[in-house]
Amino acid sequence: MVLVQIPMYNEREVYKLSIGAACGLSWPSDRLIVQVLDDSTDPTVKTWYDRLRKTLVQQAYPAQADMGLVELECKSWGNKGKNVKYEVRNTRKGYKAGALKEGLLRDYVRQCNYVAIFDADFQPEPDFLLRTIPYLVRNPQIGLVQAHWEFGTAGVWRISALEEAGGWKDRTTVEDMDLAVRAGLKGWKFVYLADVKVKSELPSNLKTYRHQQHRWTCGAANLFRKVGAEILFTKEVPFWWKFYLLYSFFFVRKVVAHVVPFMLYCVVIPFSVLIPEVTVPVWGVVYVPTTITLLHAIRNTSSIHFIPFWILFENVMSFHRTKAMFIGLLELGGVNEWVVTEKLGNGSNTKPASQILERPPCRFWDRWTMSEILFSIFLFFCATYNLAYGGDYYFVYIYLQAIAFLVVGIGFCGTISSNS
């Protein structure tokens, strides 16, 4: 028996896509339970937002008049013979992890052996379970089958592995990474399927993307702080596994990878043009970073022409990731701040006019980020100083980086986000 969990919060643009995709999975109906965990508080999701439509429904189907949009969608699929469970909570304690944890406590979950988790914007292919579950059935030591990471993650857990690892915990904002680390420390093995892909939605504007990156970076650093000692002193995994997890996975990828680009490209190089005593070797500025970047890009040669723009943008984002990393590592204010990624439902090719909800107009200054604008002014000053008094050509790069900070600071890319 397979359980599919779909946690959602005010997902008015994508709830139909995810529920429909989950109900469309190729698996015997009597061996599949789709559990929709709805933490929504938005009145347009919890109740009918169109008074005329509500009046018509009251006349035709009185029992369904007070249902929310998500509940109605679950009811619709239930009428088609699908086993769909609609679950709500009184509070949002623990956010996504809390919803997943509480969902597993339902009585009907006891009959399930495996659980697949999809975010509200995920659209798994119909054969997703047919291509993942067999790995869990054949090898009882495998606790997780992970699909290909494109824009997000999607995997199937063995429920016994999930429970042995301690279940979902809301101590960080990266509940999936937390669970995977704890399961790994218990000796469970994971399978990664590069050929199994799951469609999802990328953030459509900079504000949303920035919140998402903050949550991921801050959560990973905070998890490093919480499980570092546990990983170091555990006796259930070999030394090299612990070394990889602490050094490569956490320290290098979650700490160094954010701090070094920001310090080198946005602090050391700009300040070096103001302080003649500071010299930065060319090999450190050009050769090594260029080699690393090309090695990363070689797997997708069709995007090589985007490399210069990608480097400049990533340097801007390293400014936010470095701040988020220190917040998580030192457990400062906002360490467990959870801002749900806004979704637009771009995966749907067509959308009826009745589903297009009006959004309040966005004022241009709501898109501004003063920290990036001020940093761009500082970089413009450094570049101009180098152009006037310097003997090198660092001003070329610094001008480009200053423009990148300014463009991101004024929100001059992505879609327009509403104030709501």
**CB-based burial, 141-151: b 16+ in 10 Å, e otherwise:** ebbbbbbeeee
Within-domain flag for 263: yes
Going by their DSSP bridges, the two strands 2-8 and 189-197 should be labelled as unpaired
Say if residue 300's pLDDT is above 80: no
Question: Are 53 and 191 part of one and the same domain?
Answer: yes
Question: Are 154 and 268 part of one and the same domain?
Answer: no
Question: Are 243 and 308 part of one and the same domain?
Answer: yes
Average pLDDT estimate for 367-375: 88
pLDDT value at residue 377 = 96
Structural domain ending residue among the three candidates 166, 200, 234: 200
**Catalytic residue check, 127:** no
Q: Which residue has the higher pLDDT, 338 or 7?
A: 7
Question: Are 55 and 161 part of one and the same domain?
Answer: yes
Average pLDDT estimate for 101-109: 94
Average pLDDT estimate for 318-345: 82
Average pLDDT estimate for 164-175: 91
What is the overall mean pLDDT for the chain? 83
CA angle 45, 202, 184 (to 5 degrees): 95
Average pLDDT estimate for 96-105: 93
pLDDT value at residue 418 = 47
Average pLDDT estimate for 380-385: 95
The single residue of 38, 170, 176, 178 carrying the catalytic annotation is 176
pLDDT value at residue 398 = 92
Average pLDDT estimate for 220-226: 94
Question: Are 118 and 250 part of one and the same domain?
Answer: no
User: Per-residue confidence at 341, pLDDT binned at 50, 70, 90?
Assistant: low
User: Per-residue confidence at 294, pLDDT binned at 50, 70, 90?
Assistant: low
Question: Are 31 and 152 part of one and the same domain?
Answer: yes
pLDDT value at residue 286 = 66
Long-range contacts: 205-208, Cβ < 8 Å, 24+?
A: 205/342, 205/411, 205/414, 205/415, 205/416, 205/417, 206/367, 206/408, 206/411, 206/413, 206/414, 207/367, 207/411, 207/417, 208/341, 208/342, 208/417
Question: Are 277 and 162 part of one and the same domain?
Answer: no
Residue 319 structural domain: 225-409
Q: Which tokens go with 77?
A: 């699929």
pLDDT value at residue 100 = 94
Within-domain flag for 309: yes
Average pLDDT estimate for 147-168: 84
pLDDT value at residue 357 = 42
Average pLDDT estimate for 74-92: 92
Structural domain ending residue among the three candidates 200, 217, 249: 200
pLDDT value at residue 74 = 93
Within-domain flag for 215: no
Question: Are 21 and 81 part of one and the same domain?
Answer: yes
Say if residue 104's pLDDT is above 60: yes
Average pLDDT estimate for 107-112: 94
Within-domain flag for 307: yes
User: Per-residue confidence at 284, pLDDT binned at 50, 70, 90?
Assistant: low
Q: Which residue has the higher pLDDT, 394 or 344?
A: 394
User: Per-residue confidence at 147, pLDDT binned at 50, 70, 90?
Assistant: confident
pLDDT value at residue 114 = 97
Average pLDDT estimate for 356-379: 73
Pair 172, 380: CB distance under 8 Å:
no
**CB-based burial, 206-218: b 16+ in 10 Å, e otherwise:** bbbbbbbbbbbbb
Sheet holding 84-88, edge to edge: 84-88, 32-38, 2-8, 114-117, 155-158, 142-148, 189-197
Residue 205 is classified by DSSP as B
Within-domain flag for 257: yes
Say if residue 182's pLDDT is above 90: yes
Average pLDDT estimate for 21-43: 91
Lowest-confidence segment of 54-68, 83-97, 180-194, 211-225 by average pLDDT: 54-68
Question: Are 380 and 301 part of one and the same domain?
Answer: yes
Say if residue 419's pLDDT is above 50: no
> pTM higher than 0.75 for the full model?
yes
The single residue of 38, 39, 121, 170 carrying the catalytic annotation is 39
pLDDT value at residue 345 = 61
CATH number for the domain spanning 182: value is: 3.90.550.10
Average pLDDT estimate for 350-362: 45
Within-domain flag for 219: no
- Number of domains observed in the structure of the chain: 2
Using CB atoms within 10 A of its CB, is residue 236 exposed (0-12), middle (13-18) or buried (19+)? exposed
Say if residue 322's pLDDT is above 90: yes
Question: Are 16 and 119 part of one and the same domain?
Answer: yes
pLDDT value at residue 83 = 95
Query: What whole-number percentage of the chain has pLDDT above 90?
Result: 42
Say if residue 355's pLDDT is above 80: no
Question: Are 62 and 109 part of one and the same domain?
Answer: yes
Within-domain flag for 220: no
* Cα separations in angstroms, 300 against 121, 200, 268, 303: 25, 20, 31, 6
Within-domain flag for 389: yes
Average pLDDT estimate for 52-69: 56
Average pLDDT estimate for 332-337: 80
Question: Are 240 and 383 part of one and the same domain?
Answer: yes
Say if residue 156's pLDDT is above 90: yes
**Catalytic residue check, 39:** yes
